Amino acid sequence: MTTLLSINDLTDMKRRGEKITCLTAYDASFSAVLDKVGIDVILVGDSLGMVIQGHSTTVPVSVKDMVYHSRCVSQARQRAFVIGDLPFMSYATLQEAGKNAARLMQLGGVQMVKLEGARMDYVSFLVDQGIPVCGHLGLLPQSINQLGRYAVQGKNTPDAEKISENAYALQQAGASLLVLECVPAALAKQISEQLSIPVIGIGAGVDCDGQVLVLYDMLNIGIIKRPRFSKNFMTDVNSIEEAVAAYHRAVKITQFPAPEHSF
């Protein structure tokens, strides 16, 4: 039987300079395809609100939705490390964070939960309960109504410094992994080198320790426009499995993201 990857395996990959591949998935069939190809991490993202449910943001996604889709994904994979998003307002208090993270792990089968923002006290609390945590900085989709629009974050010096400080603080609070979304490539490179935990980029340049994309974006399907930092991996291939394999290979040999996918 294949052994599931652990956070220690991902940390070892960072240490030896092997890029970590990550894609989102929301069901058993795609989970099995990603796992067969060798994708290292499957993120059950609250992006399902947009690509599965047809909403314009991730805000309507519930904990019940996340548990259901996480269970579908976790039951079908044999190797990949599975992370589940804590959705909007599911961690408004420490107690809610603990209860909902436990549901994602116990019922959804995830190995780690992801939360957005500089929530150091929440990370510390969850880690104290034995719950591995992935942080998320840069563009925060759950805060879209506050941000007003999806845009690159950390472009000016004060904002860049704040993101860098928060990244280190999340690591100090006990986060085992960090996602950086839509930040300048130079800033992501600096943070990746600064931290001992793996940094996974999405629209954050090639120098992160790994990359993640929304599966539907890289397969060029869906109801919303594919973001600039993504790429259509269905070009010149004959199947979804071949497209996933092309993405996996491109990340491993640092051919993706290219400059045109970065800021």
Instruction: Kindly list the catalytic residues.
Output: 181
One-letter amino acid at 222 equals G
d(CA 114, CA 240): 27
Cα angle, residue 5 at apex, residues 3 and 9 outer, rounded to 5°? 125
Q: Residue 84 forms beta bridges with which residues?
A: 44, 113
Q: Read off the tokens for 94.
A: 């420490």
d(CA 22, CA 127): 22
145 three-class SS: helix
Among candidates 208, 171, 170, which has minimal Cα distance to 187? 208
d(CA 83, CA 136): 12
Among candidates 251, 156, 159, which has minimal Cα distance to 211? 251
Structural contact between residues 109 and 80, judged by C-beta atoms closer than 8 angstroms: no
